[in-house]
Amino acid sequence: MSSLQALQQRILLSAALVGAFLTLGACGSTAPPSSQDLSAATEDTFLPPEGTSGFTEKKITYTNRDMVVAANPLAVQAGVEILKKGGSAVDAAIAVQAVLTLVEPQSSGLGGGAFMMHYDNANNQLIVFDGRETAPAQATPNMFLTPEGNPISFEKAVNGGLAVGTPGAVKMLEAAHKKYGKLAWETLFAPAIKLSREGFPISPRLFTLLQTNAPLRTQQPAAAYFYQADPNDPNKLVPRPVGSLLKNPQLAVSLELIAKGGAAAFYTGPLAQAIVEKVRNHPTNPGHLSMEDMANYQPKVRDAICGIYRIRFRICGLPMPSSGGTSVAMVLGILDQFDVAALKPNSVESVHLISEAYRLVYADRALYMADSDFVSVPVAGLLNPEYLKRRALLINPEKSMGVPVAGVPEGVSVFSGIDQSLSLPSTSHISIVDQDGNAVSMTTSIENVFGSLQMVGGFLLNNQLTDFSFKPVDSTGKAVANRLEPGKRPRSSMSPTIVFNENNQVEMIIGSPGGSNIIQYVVKTLVGVIDWKLNIQQAINLPNFGAQTSAVTSLERLTSAEGLENGLKAKGHTISIVDINSGLHGITFNGQRADGSVGAFAQAVDKKWAGGADPRREGIAAGND
């Protein structure tokens, strides 16, 4: 009897129990939303990706001393050089982020936010630095509604100053450096300053994204920086060609100010004033960011969310306001009820099972998850093993559930409205380990591709406020947990993750861009390495697939197979073949430790670390031996 067939018998035996649980609810609250309510949410299975730029096969990388994996070779090189000089993982992350601001401007940068998970090996301490953007003090819950109370279009919301939140990345990086930096702050920006002044060759991916972005051509000074007049039509703008040298002296000046003056040079003074004026004085879509918002921004230090998978692995991720850590832990908690290792990768059985687990978790995510500094999020109830076992019982091995139904975890007293926010996949991920075994898993973002399209000081500003629900209440009048409120941090899906073994030793560092799909990319990789015994590169290469709160199951266009599509349709799935552009960057421990133990995922012990970079993007893994 297969794992899924055995589950079917369990479902039949436990149907009465599950039905009673869902009917009674918790703490006297009313029933959760129905599947019809969830299907009204605008967040579908896979949102349009940041943009595909091909699939280039990559080989796993091995190093002995340290490792950096990031989305651009120039950024990786900067991080590797910092590590070579004796810098810490945090030092390298700062250098990598500074260069990514220049060479991957569509995804992250000084004008955005980030979450960093840091493991201090000497002190066996894991903490999270929260550099998520915050809503301006003058922002209102109805800010994205028309006078008639209808949501404005995403394009109207994003292009301009309205959606710009207070940037958090710079101050967060400074806080991390003060605690874990080894090299002088000023030296960490030198590679990015040099590249900004001397120029870098435009990559094929950047060119592709510029070519397909019409709104950016209308926004100055970004348009003048990225585009040039068409030789055949002087009234038309075209991207500067692949390989041409792009210099950014304005960014060099901004980086020099931050290098010499610290984060204060970004959050106060002329640079902050320029950011605020750009936002508030946009001619058609002004925003509410103020000098007070900039000066008052504070990053936060939080505890990680951790769950156990397959008995011996502790999977640690982000707490709220990111839904990533909780959602990844929930999916794995559901999958822990099944013998996933007995199922083949990219098979009908495995894709069906994992997609159904996603549906259950995204239903809960839409209802409960938001900034826990503003709303009560029942994290303990959502992660309760008994609750996840009950959720697992809802999976039918022979038929898709279609539109999912939210569960009722312990600790819920009042149901929120259904969130209808989008979560756009323009983000970047960095995985780093240094010579002392300290690890950084950092996901960084400006939200939409090229953010708000507003460029100041050589970098783009975020549009993270569109990660809030445009509607503060749902159709039933219930307040949405992820509604916009002054000072609040929009819900994220970023999922930087560190995996530990039973002896609390680092086994894996992983994460990805991809908006609300990040959760699925990370789970896919974890399952690939832990259950299917693939190396980190093979697991990253696995086809992407998934589902959220709709009846649609999405398969990656580049790697989908007719047999898989037909098999899932036979189980009742509605299939969509789409471009699914992850950007997974991961490291696994591959060697032998001082205590004689070998890495749980080691496939060769002559090198200490193994790294993999997503073939869907331009990243690499590299380090020092």
Instruction: Please provide the DSSP assignment of 10-78 as one string.
Output: HHHHHHHHHHHHHHH-STTPPPPPPHHHHHT-S--SSPPPS----------EEESS-EEEESSHHHHHH
- Length, in residues, of the chain: 625
Angle at which helices 385-392 and 348-368 pack, to 10 degrees?
130
46, two tokens: 């896979």
> In this structure, what DSSP letter does residue 542 have?
S
Q: Any residues with CB less than 8 A from the CB of 124 and at least 6 apart, and which?
A: 504
- Asked if residues 95 and 188 have their Cβ atoms less than 8 Å apart, the reply is yes
372, two tokens: 């826990």
Q: Known catalytic residue: 553?
A: no
Instruction: Count the neighbouring beta carbons within 10 Å of the beta carbon of residue 27.
Output: 11
The DSSP result for 358-412, as a single string, is: HHHHHHHHHHH-S-TTTS---HHHHH-HHHHHHHHTT-BTTB---S------TT-
Q: Tell me, what's the pLDDT at 40?
A: 42
Residue 158 three-state SS: helix
Q: 463-476: buried (b, 16+ CB within 10 Å) or exposed (e) per residue?
A: bbbbbbbbbbbbee
Q: Which has the closest alpha carbon to 117: 128, 106, 133?
A: 128
Q: Tell me, what's the pLDDT at 28?
A: 29
Q: Tell me, what's the pLDDT at 116?
A: 98
Q: 393-428: buried (b, 16+ CB within 10 Å) or exposed (e) per residue?
A: bbbbbeebbbbbbbbbbebbeebbbbbbbbbbbbbb
Q: Tell me, what's the pLDDT at 348?
A: 96
Q: How far apart are the C-alpha atoms of 474 and 479, rounded to whole Å? A: 7
CA atoms within a 13 Å half-sphere pointing along the CA-CB vector of 265: 14
Q: Any residues with CB less than 8 A from the CB of 229 and at least 6 apart, and which?
A: 235, 236, 237, 238
Q: Tell me, what's the pLDDT at 412?
A: 84
42, two tokens: 């605008």
Q: Tell me, what's the pLDDT at 336?
A: 98
* Catalytic residue chosen out of the listed positions 45, 427, 553, 588: 427
- Asked if residues 491 and 371 have their Cβ atoms less than 8 Å apart, the reply is yes
Q: Any residues with CB less than 8 A from the CB of 368 and at least 6 apart, and which?
A: 377, 378, 382, 406, 409, 412, 416, 481
Q: Tell me, what's the pLDDT at 56?
A: 86
Residue 585 three-state SS: strand
Q: Tell me, what's the pLDDT at 160?
A: 96
Mean pLDDT by 10 residues, the chain (625 residues): 40 30 31 49 42 78 97 98 98 98 97 98 98 98 94 93 98 98 98 98 96 94 96 92 97 98 98 98 97 98 98 98 98 98 96 98 96 96 98 97 95 67 73 98 96 98 96 90 97 97 97 96 98 98 95 86 91 94 96 92 92 96 97
Q: How far apart are the C-alpha atoms of 504 and 214, rounded to whole Å? A: 49
Q: Tell me, what's the pLDDT at 42?
A: 39
Nearest 5°: phi and psi at 308?
-95, 135
Residue 251 three-state SS: helix
Return the bridge partners of 115, or none. Answer: 130, 443
- Asked if residues 485 and 135 have their Cβ atoms less than 8 Å apart, the reply is yes
Return the bridge partners of 127, or none. Answer: 118
